[in-house]
Amino acid sequence: MKNDSKHIVLGVTGSIAAYKSAELVRLLKKRGWNVSVIMTQAATRFVGELTFRTLSRNPVAIDMFDVPDEWCPEHISMADRADAILIAPCTANVIAKVAHGLADDLLSATVLAAGSPVIIAPAMNGRMWDNPATQANIQLLKSRGISIVDVESGELACGCQGQGRMASVETILRTLDLVLRKKRLASSH
């Protein structure tokens, strides 16, 4: 993909896989892209806000009720300037919120306000991934045009083997590139 400047909003949720998101930010910045990070409260228990602020060279948004830098509400301004919203890792909880249009935190409200493509890279325990509720939510998201990066199999943080691991950073970036290419082609017609 051409190195044209993009603005990616990266949502980070409360999963042990959140540490991989730091590498995503680093690689997106290496492309010369602007990255705005939104962390859920649960994500801050796994990786510190300072990590993402340093790597993105931007403030990190966490609380929907923080005073914004400008008049426009943060979830609207983030959604407006995003070329894409990428949630990596995305927990079963946030998948359910997005699938059902809940907007009770900054990340879910931003996704609900988004006019740009949304990409979700799930990460969770294998039983949670296989749960019929999670699978129904994934199908609902796909039917609404949200791109899902397939989970990987292997050793999970809980020590079990199975599906549910967040895809590799390289796989997530390839999916993001594909989604942005489709967006560009659609807008040129």
Which are the catalytic amino acids?
A: 158
39 within 8 A of 63, measured Cβ to Cβ: no
The residue to which tokens 């699938």 are assigned: 99
In the chain the first and final C-alpha atoms are separated, in Å, by 19
- In angstroms, the CA 176 to CA 8 distance is 10
φ, ψ of residue 138 in degrees (nearest 5) = -60, -45
Within 10 angstroms of residue 170's Cβ, the number of other Cβ atoms is: 10
Decide if 8 contacts 114 (C-beta within 8 A). Answer: no
- Residue 54 and residue 29: Cα distance in Å, rounded? 11
